[in-house]
Structure 1
């Protein structure tokens, strides 16, 4: 395919974002139910057009097979280079050439993307035209390692320039890797020097997809490692649920008993968020127990987290999906300041709010099955199928391209070896100590209790596949879970019985309570990436 066609494929996809955003009507609901009855069709998360290039094939393999690279990975041979800047194409030792003057480097980076000053020109200029080719020749001949990260970004995005970019990358680095994912893992393990203005340049590179990336990508690396910020094959206009519509659990007709559910209970208000719906949107803003909340679903993280919308600075923010990842965690952004947030820890990680250390307050959340949740909270409510958008809300449809992978979906080299990357954990903060518990092991044990940093914590489960709740035991020793549904209870060492719900434990005799602790169910790699100093519990 001609490079211009590949570029326009991305632009056409961007132009279609939001075309299915419809007002809620009976017709929309009818269409949704017809969609649910269809046999789901596999679809790629990679933009149209990208699959027709050599780099696009690598992106597809990454999206379908996962992009984590073993920490000991070494350079592997690639196809013979075809870009010939007048010197040998065989990778050599890293160049010792003197660094380019900042002005020459800035000009080369500016010239290598023809829409640098005006993203609208991307429809007119050729992504791999003469100006780009000449800029790549200058970059390759310079031997300046500060070009490595920008070239890896271009290789990942590939708009028809894969071979030329690869050759330039090999010449400035003295290394050769098979895929863009391998390259990202390599520069994570051994970070190269970055050029001045790299954040500005990266935002302008991505502006061909969405001009808001120019505001979202940090201008400097003071708050995060910019070379680890990776485009996630989309723009910032993913349709979020800004005002969640719900129906009573007893009136729901579209869910199966085994469908995955994220549930919470706040001030006596029980609410459930089906993964089959939430995963399509990533963000659901809601109101529970008299408080405004936001639920983030991170598809690459394998889980969800709930927070109060009122942040630590006293303001409430409106969130969207940034479609940028770091450590294979898909970031969100707030529309008010265009700061980036980590959905797993609820902190602003880049932008104006990151410099102020703004964060959100976590709300306890449980990952369980719909049948289990409905039995326990028959008077609760669940997200309605009428979201205002037409999507294939069949179970598992939104997870295609991620579900079942053994590795993280996006490039990530620094995997914590204490658990396998895709072990599900529930993470909690205990007296300032972050701690992760493998969900399957806790479900098998049904009761896990220990003291960490002065906090006596107890984790309870009704059994395999039924989720884990976390509570501050406040010195009470719990021993056995019994009952089911709304009658689920736990007994203590003194013979007392306590009703279990997602908000508290309630003593059936004297009314004493033990509060639930905020907890987050995600893949291990996502929790460890968001909390590098986390401790773990093992059976």
Structure 2
């Protein structure tokens, strides 16, 4: 992970080397608000990165030391993080340690955690600074934060660059699908993310989607986006159309508590992957929340048994990647280490232990995380969230499907597709509902898998069942 982080920082340093002289401290241009509306505080912190101009750097240091405010901590820390040389980082670090009384050295995780566990205190100028700072990496990044200090529902200091440009991890847009007989690259044991919308069954192999982290398509006549956050282990499927507007989603390049942030092309607002709603930008407060659709994590062998008419991703994605199983993020998945830290590590489970997340935000504030290891020992698990009773069926592949079963009590499950209730009735487990006697159906309850650390970071009050 340290190697990956160094690669990210090296990439950023190269960009700063060639861009800082051109992009920082340019004269005002009335036709360009990105350049014209940067306040003095933001500019002083940007000048800290002007290692090519000792006068500007010295002036900025003097001003910041003499006018120090509590909210400057995160701005100075980000300047240290992106400084091109260790010598300059250490020079800035001395100021940070002097003003805060903390001695964390260049252990960025400790600095970030210390800041995040205090009350938020950054000034509005931080939005200007963050916009201009990250615009040096990708000009598109500037729009995410500029003039948006009053259009945010999350802490800006917890929004971190993930090391790639906008759509630098390229989403698969209307990807080519093939029939199972043509998918000779897939082993039956390969992990796939399966969906079925209006009878249209699709499988998205992890070994491909890990390189792209998102697919945008029309499935069963419904425009959708499937979002895979490799760092936090979540795969969530959304309807992208809301009140007549089809939001064109992409990968922002930023994270919030190690969870991927999406963006929409029209407004460049940042969106929560877990919530399906905008969290920074002009769409905040507009009542927009995308509808969830069900997705299951299973094996290719089990999925095609259940859905012989399924389609599956072709290797012909339009991109050149090593799509062999287990190649993408191999080092990250091989350990319990994090690439990007979170405010607090909860050791109730290992960081990357898988949980099943169940929420009904429209009905209750309750939030459940059920250990996948626990569920694999209980092929039938019944509980309640709010006033909704549910049953989790975990099949032989370890895939979880959750249904709103009310007062029904299920006693038997064959581990494939058939269950029996306490009244002796037989039910068939489909992707989106349970089918029972006399044509009765029971709705599936939205749920998804996630790594424990990322879900707990996003929802500190979650109840863990293990």
Partner of 1:255: 186
Deviation of 1:266 after TM superposition, in Å, equals: 1.9
Q: Aligned residues, how many?
A: 432
Between the aligned partners of 2:113 and 2:8, the Cα distance in structure 1 is 25
Q: Secondary structure at the match of 1:163?
A: helix
- Tell me the CA shift for residue 498 of structure 1: 1.5
Q: CA deviation at 1:304?
A: 0.8
Does residue 104 of structure 2 align to residue 177 of structure 1?
yes
Structure 1: tracts of 5 or more residues without a match = 1-41, 54-101, 115-125
The structure whose RCO (Cα within 8 Å, separation 6+) is larger is 1
Aligned to 1:525: 453
For each residue in 1:299-329, what CA deviation from the matched residue of structure 2 results, as whole angstroms up to 9, or x when unmatched? 1111211011113x43111111111111111
Describe the shift of the 1:258–1:172 C-alpha distance in structure 2 as closer, same or farther (beyond 3 A): same
Deviations 1:211-230 (Å, cap 9, x if unpaired)?
Answer: 11111126316422111111
Contact map agreement 2:45 2:79 (CA 8 A) in 1: no
- Report the 3-state secondary structure (helix = DSSP H, G, I; strand = E; otherwise coil) of the residue aligned with 1:304: strand
Question: 2 CA distance for matches of 1:502 and 1:424?
Answer: 21
Which residue is equivalent to 1:92?
A: none
Secondary structure at 2:333's aligned position in 1?
coil
1:410 maps onto 2:370 in alignment? no
Aligned to 2:299: 369
Query: 1:352 pairs with 275, 282, 287, which one?
Result: 282
Alpha carbons of 1:296 and 1:46: their partners in 2 closer, same or farther (altered >3 Å)? Answer: farther
Partner of 2:210: 279
Q: Which residue of 2 aligns with 1:459?
A: 392
Tell me whether 334-343 or 421-430 shows the greater mean CA deviation: 421-430
Q: Is the 8 A contact 1:472 1:514 kept in 2?
A: yes
Alpha-carbon spacing, 1:110–1:450, altered in 2? closer, same or farther (3 Å): closer
Aligned equivalent of 1:301? 232
CA shift for structure 1 position 248: 1.4
3-state SS, counterpart of residue 322 of structure 2: coil
CA shift, 1:363, in A, is 0.8
Pair 1:50 & 2:23 matched: no
Mapped partners of 1:408, 1:136: distance in 2: 33
Q: Deviations over 1:129-159 (max 9, x none)?
A: 5422442344245544332111111222232
Structure 1 or 2: more strand by fraction: 2
Aligned to 2:142: 214
- 5 Å-filtered alignment, 1:132-531, equals 132-140=57-65, 142-160=67-85, 161-178=88-105, 179-191=107-119, 193-217=121-145, 219-220=148-149, 222-238=152-168, 239-311=170-242, 313-416=243-346, 418-430=348-360, 431-432=363-364, 433-463=366-396, 465-482=397-414, 484=416, 488-507=417-436, 509-531=437-459
TM-score normalised per structure 2: 0.85
Contact 1:446 1:461 in 2 (8 A): yes
Q: Which residue of 2 aligns with 1:99?
A: none
Aligned pair in 2 of structure 1 residues 395, 136: CA closer, same or farther (>3 Å)? farther
Change (3 A) 1:483 1:196: closer
Change (3 A) 1:506 1:136: same
Residues in 2 aligned to 1:537 and 1:228: alpha-carbon distance in whole angstroms = 28
The answer to whether the 8 Å contact 2:404/2:444 transfers is: yes
> How far apart are the structure 2 equivalents of 1:303 and 1:154?
31
Q: Which residue of 1 aligns with 2:27?
A: none
Cα distance in structure 1, aligned partners of 2:244 and 2:460: 27
Mapped contact 1:301–1:523 kept (Cα < 8 A): yes
What's the secondary structure of 2:442's corresponding residue?
Answer: strand
CA distance in structure 2 between the aligned counterparts of 1:306 and 1:140, rounded to whole angstroms: 48
Distance in 2 separating the partners of 1:452 and 1:195? 39
Contact 2:46 2:79 in 1 (8 A): no
Shift of 1:202: 0.9
DSSP-derived class of the 1:332 partner? strand
Deviation at 1:337, TM superposition (A): 1.0
Distance 2:424 2:327 in 1: 46
d(CA) in 1 for partners of 2:42, 2:12: 31
Residues 324-358 of structure 1, C-alpha deviations (whole Å, 9 max, x = no match):
11111121111111111111221211111122231
Contact 1:324 1:330 in 2 (8 A): yes
| TM-score of the aligned structures, taking structure 1 as reference length | 0.74
Distance 1:397 1:229 in 2: 28
Mapped partners of 1:191, 1:127: distance in 2: 35
Matches within 5 A, 1:28-177: 44=4, 46-47=6-7, 50=10, 105-114=41-50, 126=51, 129-140=54-65, 142-160=67-85, 161-177=88-104
Partners of 1:137 and 1:168 within 8 A in 2: no
Per-residue deviation, 1:416: 4.5
- Measure the CA separation in 1 of the matches of 2:422 and 2:284: 46
Contact kept? 2:367, 2:463, Cα under 8 Å: yes
Q: Deviations over 1:359-398 (max 9, x none)?
A: 1111111111222212221211111111111111122222
